[in-house]
Chains A and B, each alone.
Chain A
């Protein structure tokens, strides 16, 4: 299954400045594993030491949060978009 993974601005520095990456995967877990093996620096930003996805990073398949699907096991279909959406705080002063 070819899917597109969208990499958010704060994490692009760890993914060769790519905005998105197309890769082969049949589950969300596979897609992220493939992504982080391609860009190893990304791993510590996506996963905590215990191997779980960090709680300030959400992952969506199309517009649905994988926490409400089958998490890492969520199946992907051809052409799906996987979005990584971390929390950002900026707004006011400097």
Chain B
């Protein structure tokens, strides 16, 4: 990898050279006195245009540091609203923001931090139809999304437009970071040609994440973005940085450009954006959930049948640590153990399977029915719905 390929910043040709105001000199003085940044670097930052996909766990520190550093135009893309479970790690938001669109709260926070820069809020779901048009106005794209379809979409769009993609992703207490789409560098598909089939890899909602982890990984993405802009140092290209917060260890693996890569290889077969939901097996983390339809029971029906004294066997297919958070007094067999432990169940009794949201228990219901259990029902909406419709004292998580 040639070291100093300056990538970013396309200074607007018809604009006069940027300068810093007196206030800006003061604000950025700790950059200006550092030779690696200096006035040149700070002016590059001022003229840079960075698009952050997602304003969640990764996007929060990223947005904050880019804004603080004086990146001239920061675009943010999101369509979600802030909820209470976000606050454990999404440090752009405060408790009062719960219920507001993320994009609105994020814009306000970033503007408060640095009123001298332009914040463009794109409240939209990134799609194959809008990605290229949106990316066009930016030099660097930073990927802080939470699902495979969007990651492949961001990758392909960046390769097609020849824009660097500063990548970060996290799971529980492990993170991965690198830069894709750099000239002659590898892309996401060189690393992983295909996404996992739905259900084989748990999402953050299912797997959890240590709150500070996206703070660290998002900050690494911010550092790499700033380095790309000022053209200093050794970019994280061709190297996959792995971080394990539990062991507190960084490791680095070699990442090579695959000459047979379908999008950035020598004979690309992907020359336009495709249907990424389909590519990723429809579901992704955000597509509407159940792919199986199984017989269901609503929380209210279950409550009245229990009150009537019907003989029902409540099967909880969550994990033991979830059972500790709250439970309906059911018999616990985690979904992953069900095939091995199905013999513990009595097929003559009526079984009500439940989990947190009804997704895992739908799989369990499907599995048990195929295994010959005739009387299995899935509790629709899981413990979350039970809390909403029957017993609000049951905490939601």
Contacts and interface: CB of A to CB of B under 8 A. Distances in A.
Interface of A: 8-10, 13-14, 19, 41, 45, 54-56, 58, 60, 63-65, 67-68, 83, 85-94
B151 interface: yes
A89 B169 contact: yes
Nearest to A8: B174
A85 B202 CA distance: 15
B168 interface: yes
Which 6 A-B pairs have CB atoms at the shortest separation, nearest pair first? A92-B56, A92-B54, A90-B204, A88-B171, A55-B194, A92-B146
Contact of B240 (A45, A55, A85, A86): A85
Contacts of A56: 192, 194-196, 201
Q: Which of A10, A41, A92 has the most CB of B within 10 A?
A: A92
B65 interface: no
A38 B135 CA distance: 47
Contacts of A89: 145-148, 151, 169, 195, 201, 203, 285
B192 A91 contact: no
**Size bin of chain B's contact surface:** 35 or more
Given A9-B171, A90-B204, 20 more contacts: A9-B244, A14-B336, A54-B196, A55-B192, A63-B251, A87-B192, A88-B174, A88-B176, A89-B145, A89-B148, A90-B146, A91-B59, A91-B214, A92-B57, A92-B58, A92-B144, A93-B80, A93-B86, A93-B102, A94-B146
A87 B207 contact: no
Contacts of A88: 169-171, 174, 176, 201
Interface string B191-210: 11111100011111101010
Interface in B35-77: 54-59
B253 A63 contact: yes
B190 to A, nearest CB: 10
B173 A91 contact: no
A67 B78 CA distance: 36
A58 B146 contact: no
Nearest to B170: A90
Contacts of A87: 148, 169, 191-192, 195-196, 201
Given A8-B174, A58-B191, A65-B256, A92 B196 contact: no
Contact of A91 (B169, B196, B258): B169
A32 B57 CA distance: 34
B172 interface: yes
B256 A94 contact: no
Q: Which of A13, A56, A88 has the most CB of B within 10 A?
A: A88
Contacts of A86: 196, 201
Contacts of A10: 171-172, 201-202, 207
B254 interface: yes
A68 B200 CA distance: 26
Given A88-B201, A91-B56, A9 B78 contact: no
Nearest to A56: B196
